């Protein structure tokens, strides 16, 4: 498993909150457990005490994305480095669960979890995954959705660094909104043009010489 895979952990956690809509789905132990996905062993350690700790990590991870999206790449790196220092990981070579066609292990790097609680373990792997993604693809690949009011985060893996939305749904919604805005502007310009034309005609009529 490539270490950049763990960056998805950061995205999943940050997107449990929609600040502009006042929504927060990270309210139960079960919701926290779902964030771990297939990493069931880590999820079994989640307790009520992890809820506020997860929210605190979520805020710090969102700050990384926000700084990167605003072009403050040094700030994003500094914020991420503070997480890496606070929540260190233990990289290990693994492969016993993945065999090639000849039955030999497919060796890969794995982030082992030796943390004292579920929050520390999740913070460690998500921060490390995000760090690998940032250093491999660039800080400008960490983005915030540009479709108001959504501010979900995403990882831009497009070939031309053109991604602006967290999902196809938001992209479609933004495109429809932009289309309607253009149509309204065109209609307003047309109305102003008609008004200007009528005003000009009235002016010409009022200044025309009287018939004898």
Question: For the segment 53-102, what is each residue's pLDDT rounded down to a tens digit?
Answer: 999 999 999 999 999 999 999 999 999 999 999 998 877 787 766 677 77
C-beta neighbour count of 125 within 10 angstroms: 26
Count the helix, strand and coil residues of the chain and give each as a percent rounded to the nearest 5: 60, 10, 30
Q: Which ranges in 2-87 belong to alpha helices (H)?
A: 7-14, 29-35, 40-43, 50-69, 73-86
For residues 76-112, one letter each, b for 16 or more C-beta atoms within 10 angstroms of the residue's C-beta and e for the rest, the string is bbebbeebeeebebeeeebeeeeeeeeeeeeeeebbe
For residues 1-39, one letter each, b for 16 or more C-beta atoms within 10 angstroms of the residue's C-beta and e for the rest, the string is eebbbbbebbbbbbbbbeeeeeeeebeeeeebbebbeeb
Q: What is the mean pLDDT of the chain?
A: 85
Q: What is the tens place of the pLDDT at every residue in 25-61?
A: 999 999 999 998 876 678 889 999 999 999 999 999 9
Average the pLDDT over 99-125 and give the result. 81
- Backbone angles phi and psi of 13, in degrees to 5: -70, -50
Q: What is the largest CA-CA distance in the chain?
A: 109
Q: Which stretch of 7-21, 44-58, 87-101, 121-135 has the lowest confidence by average pLDDT?
A: 87-101
Confidence of residue 104 (pLDDT cuts 50, 70, 90): confident
pTM of the model: 0.78
Q: If you count DSSP H runs as helices and E runs as strands, how many of each does the chain have, helices first?
A: 7, 6
pLDDT of residue 4: 67
């Amino acid at each position: 498993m490539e270490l950049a895979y763990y960056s998805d952990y950061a995205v999943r956690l940050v997107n449990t909150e929609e600040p502009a809509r006042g929504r927060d789905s990270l309210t139960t132990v079960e919701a926290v457990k779902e964030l771990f996905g297939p990493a069931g062993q880590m999820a079994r350690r989640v307790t009520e005490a992890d809820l506020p700790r997860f929210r605190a990590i979520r805020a710090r991870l969102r700050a990384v994305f926000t700084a990167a999206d605003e072009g403050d790449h040094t700030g994003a790196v500094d914020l991420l480095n503070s997480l890496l220092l606070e929540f260190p990981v233990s990289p290990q070579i693994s492969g016993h669960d993945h065999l090639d066609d000849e039955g030999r292990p497919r060796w890969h790097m794995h982030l082992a979890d030796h943390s004292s609680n579920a929050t520390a373990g999740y913070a460690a792997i998500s921060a490390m995954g995000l760090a690998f993604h940032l250093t491999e693809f660039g800080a400008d690949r960490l983005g915030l959705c540009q479709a108001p009011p959504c501010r979900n985060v995403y990882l831009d893996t497009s070939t031309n660094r053109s991604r602006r939305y967290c999902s196809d749904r938001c992209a479609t919604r933004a495109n429809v909104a932009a289309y309607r805005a253009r149509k309204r502007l065109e209609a307003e310009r047309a109305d102003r043009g008609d008004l200007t034309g009528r005003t000009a005609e009235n002016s010409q009529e009022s200044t025309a010489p009287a018939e004898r």
